Structure 1
Amino acid sequence: MTIGIDRIGFATSQYRLSLEDLAQARGVEPAKFTKGLMLDSMSITPITEDIVTMAASAASQILTDEDRETIDLIIFATETGIDQSKAASVFLHGLLGIQPFARSIEMKEACYAATAGLDYAKRHVEKFPDRRVLVIASDIAKYGIASGGEATQGAGALALIVSSNPRTLILNDDNLAQTRDIMDFWRPNYSTTPYVQGAFSTQQYLDCLTTTWAEHQKRFGTSLDQLAAFCFHVPFPKLAKKGLDSLMTDDLTETDRDRLTSNFDAAITYNRQIGNIYTGSLYLSLLSLLENSRALEAGDQIGLFSYGSGAVCEIFTATIVDGFEQHLRTDRQAELDLRTPISVDTYEALFYDEAQLDETGSTSFKTYQTGAYALTAIDQHQRIYQKVN
């Protein structure tokens, strides 16, 4: 029996901000963002779009009636939670109509939690092979107006259905994690935006990658020449590119280098346009690779590096399943192109928009473009979600 990712859904906001426009507004050369970060635009959410609405939109694209009856575990990974007590997966469970006898939880460890969720899901299916698990990675990255990380914001959600005999990817038994107690990126409960030590975080990302990869090679005998591609956590694509470069040693053949580089370019196609989505960034890159590479074949091995500040990282591999392309979309780019371009002024207004509650803890919102679901009101401090299209 094999276990892995059967299908992948993705949703992002309906608004996008050009990084060239942001650069002009901030008085910097556009190349600082487009070449220095390898970013072209970022998705921007209105107040009516949050981690739950994006997750519901992503999952609803791939869920079948059979899924709704056989999913008995929902794992929601996020670092932009909407409630300090109630799990976002509970809201999602109701919106998606999953059968009632399902466990619904929320997980957090910066950008790493979705990988922990995937590990948990795999072990669940090993025990109950006739059941399925829905793993969600949904986040809205906000760093602050005119902050050092402003250009690396973004928003999006990935929905992964984990099952036995998957039709897209088999998860191999070679996971290796590393933990370091560091302060490279963190957000205390009292702050709406994170604190970041940028250069230190970059250093830790790369050092965690190289040391974990070296240990992975020792334990499992892996090597880059065995891999068709390597996907990375992508806070911004240039950092992931540095990660790939750090792994490509001098003994690697030119053919191997060309293959890994070409597939890396395919793997950042969506990240360049959407920006940082925290827990989902690695899996957005994986989806981008699968939908944009023309060189992948059944049986190919893909390496994956997950990193969450604070810090926990993990390296593992996956095997492409025969017929995987039948369970992917061919119109993703056209959908991304439909996002509404907004000005820097509009982006700033959306950034600062907050719920204005009355004395009962209630409010309604003006209408914005959203995906299939929207946050339509807050009623006595209770978030009200509805399917809108």
Structure 2
Amino acid sequence: MQIGIDQLAFYTPKTYLDLVDLAHARGEEPDKYKIGIGQSEQAVIPVTQDAVTLAANAAVRVVTDANRDKIAMVLFGTESGIDNSKSAAIYLKRLLKLPDAIRAVEIKQACYGATAGVQFAHDFVRLHPDQQVLVIGADIARYGLNTPGEVTQGGGAVAMTISANPQLFNLDDETAFRSEDIMDFWRPLYRTEALVDGRFSENVYIDFFKAVWRDYQAQSKRSIGDFTAFAFHLPFTKMGLKALRAILPEASESQQKELMANFEASRQYNRQVGNLYTGSLYLSLRSLFDNAALKPGQRLGLFSYGSGAEGEFFSGTVSDEFDATESQKWFSTYFKSRQRLDMTQYERLFTQQLPNHDVLLDLSDDDARFVLTGIQHDQRQYLDRNNK
């Protein structure tokens, strides 16, 4: 029995910042961002969206009347949680009208949380092949205005259903993981922006990748020649390129060209959206499926990394039934409909933070189905515009 990703969808608001504009405003050469960082644009998240609404707007594309009653768990990976006690998955479960006989849990380990959910879901479905698990990766990446990390901001959500006999991606059983207590990136409870040691974090990321790649090879007896493409966690896309280059000498010259071409396909969406934290790897995987000429049965390698730190390398094969047509159309429509912000608009949206008191938010600039309307009695208020 094959188990893996049956559906994979994405959502982020339509407002974005062109990084050429950011470079000019910050006195930098645009190529420092476009080539040196590997980013072109980044999503800008309005105050009317949070991890819950981002997740809901993505999840409605994979949760339908056809599978709603099959979903037995919601595993919500995020480092942008909205409550220190109550799981974001509980809010999402209500917005999606999922049944009450369900587990709904939030998972936190920096950008690794969604991958933990995928692996937990894989084991669950093996025991319950008639059921599915909804896995979410939803975050808002914030480092602050005029900071070194400003160019790697962004946000959005991925939503995946894990099932038996999946339509998209069959997960292999072999997986290699590693964890260490490392202070390369963290966000204390009293901060809205993250703290990061950028150069150190890059080195840890690559060291973890090489370590789990070696462990995976020893476990699976596979080599780089068994892979058509790799997808990476991409806080910025140059990071994944550096990791891939670390193992490219293991491949033949012809395969190196194929792997590099497929890496370019895998980072196309991430270049235009920015950092998703927990969802980053899976947006890269979606981009790979949509923009590379993949064939059923080809093996893909995935590297997940969460600062602090946790890393995992796992793999799978393209499903026989995979069809990227619908996703390609969605992204094409989405990118054509985006609203480019100037620097004044960007800085205004960035500084609009939810207060710690009751408030009613202006929704006129947010056309999403699911929105955050405000706070009442210290409770976040959500609206599904389809249920007015």
User: How would you bin the TM-score normalised by the shorter chain?
Assistant: over 0.9
**Aligned-partner SS, 1:225:** helix
Alpha-carbon shift at residue 258 of structure 1 (Å) = 1.1
| Aligned ranges 1:362-381 → 2 under 5 Å | 362-367=358-363, 368-381=365-378
Match of 1:279? 278
| Aligned ranges 1:288-327 → 2 under 5 Å | 288-294=287-293, 296-325=294-323
CA deviations on 1:67-101 (whole Å, 9 max, x unpaired) are: 21110100000001111111111110000011110
Kept in 1: contact 2:9–2:160 (CA 8 A): yes
Kept in 2: contact 1:7–1:327 (CA 8 A): no
- Paired-residue identity, %: 41
Structure 2 length as normaliser, TM-score? 0.97
Alpha-carbon shift at residue 323 of structure 1 (Å) = 2.2
Q: Aligned AA for 1:381? A: D
Alpha-carbon shift at residue 152 of structure 1 (Å) = 0.3
CA deviations on 1:25-67 (whole Å, 9 max, x unpaired) are: 1111111101111111000011001111111111101222132
| Aligned ranges 1:152-231 → 2 under 5 Å | 152-231=152-231
Aligned residue pairs total: 384
Match of 1:21? 21
Give the distance between the partners of 1:356 and 1:210, measured in 2 at CA.
43
- Tell me, yes or no, if structure 1 residue 336 matches structure 2 residue 335: yes
Alpha-carbon shift at residue 205 of structure 1 (Å) = 0.4
Kept in 1: contact 2:289–2:324 (CA 8 A): no
Alpha-carbon shift at residue 277 of structure 1 (Å) = 0.4
**Aligned-partner SS, 1:325:** coil
Give the distance between the partners of 1:144 and 1:305, measured in 2 at CA.
27
Match of 1:40? 40
Alpha-carbon shift at residue 178 of structure 1 (Å) = 0.4
Alpha-carbon shift at residue 328 of structure 1 (Å) = 4.5
Kept in 2: contact 1:291–1:328 (CA 8 A): no
Alpha-carbon shift at residue 184 of structure 1 (Å) = 0.3
**Aligned-partner SS, 2:328:** coil
Alpha-carbon shift at residue 141 of structure 1 (Å) = 0.2
Give the distance between the partners of 1:307 and 1:50, measured in 2 at CA.
23
Give the distance between the partners of 1:382 and 1:39, measured in 2 at CA.
36
Q: RMSD between aligned alpha carbons?
A: 1.2
Kept in 1: contact 2:14–2:334 (CA 8 A): no
Give the distance between the partners of 1:25 and 1:143, measured in 2 at CA.
17
Alpha-carbon shift at residue 298 of structure 1 (Å) = 0.3
| Aligned ranges 1:2-81 → 2 under 5 Å | 2-81=2-81
Give the distance between the partners of 2:355 and 2:50, measured in 1 at CA.
17
Alpha-carbon shift at residue 326 of structure 1 (Å) = 5.5
Kept in 2: contact 1:143–1:153 (CA 8 A): yes
CA deviations on 1:206-226 (whole Å, 9 max, x unpaired) are: 011111111211121121111
Give the distance between the partners of 1:247 and 1:338, measured in 2 at CA.
38
Q: Aligned AA for 1:280? A: G
Give the distance between the partners of 2:325 and 2:41, measured in 1 at CA.
27
Moved over 6 A (4+): none
CA change 1:96–1:327 in 2 (3 A) is farther
Kept in 2: contact 1:8–1:328 (CA 8 A): no
Kept in 1: contact 2:111–2:278 (CA 8 A): yes
**Aligned-partner SS, 1:159:** strand
Give the distance between the partners of 1:377 and 1:179, measured in 2 at CA.
38
1:386 to 371, 383, 386: 383
**Aligned-partner SS, 1:99:** coil
Kept in 2: contact 1:11–1:371 (CA 8 A): no
Kept in 2: contact 1:48–1:370 (CA 8 A): no
**Aligned-partner SS, 2:148:** coil
Structure 2, unaligned runs of 5 or more: none
Alpha-carbon shift at residue 9 of structure 1 (Å) = 1.1
Q: Aligned AA for 1:238? A: K
Give the distance between the partners of 1:349 and 1:10, measured in 2 at CA.
25
Kept in 1: contact 2:177–2:312 (CA 8 A): yes
Structure 1 length as normaliser, TM-score? 0.97
Alpha-carbon shift at residue 356 of structure 1 (Å) = 4.1
Alpha-carbon shift at residue 370 of structure 1 (Å) = 4.1
